[in-house]
Amino acid sequence: MLGSGFIPKFYYLILGFFCVWLSNIFTVIEGFFFHDFFNLLEHSFYFLSAILFLVSLKKEILVFSR
């Protein structure tokens, strides 16, 4: 998915920020179309971003504990 020059330890962190960005887009879209559906997507992506941030933090702690 990402190029070979990408730093692997930031993979989950960048995905988390991407999920936050998508949730902000869904927030705007829900004002115009399918309110309930995009509201569910918005909050699901916030939840997913929190999980990805935690995984990223856990991987960072594991790297520094060695």
Residue range 1-59, pLDDT digits in tens: 555 555 666 888 889 999 999 999 999 999 998 999 999 999 999 999 999 999 888 87
Per the CB < 8 A criterion, the answer to whether 13 and 52 are in contact is yes
User: Residue 39 has what DSSP assignment?
Assistant: H
In a domain, 3, yes or no: no
In a domain, 1, yes or no: no
Q: Is 45 a member of any domain?
A: yes
Count of domains for the chain: 1
Greater confidence (66 vs 31) lies with 31
Asked whether residue 2 is assigned to any structural domain, the reply reads no
- Name every residue whose Cβ is closer than 8 Å to that of residue 13 and which is 6 or more positions away in sequence: 52, 53, 56
Residue ranges making up the domain that contains 49: 8-64
Asked if residue 58 is part of any domain, the answer here is: yes
pLDDT for residue 10:
80
pTM: 0.76
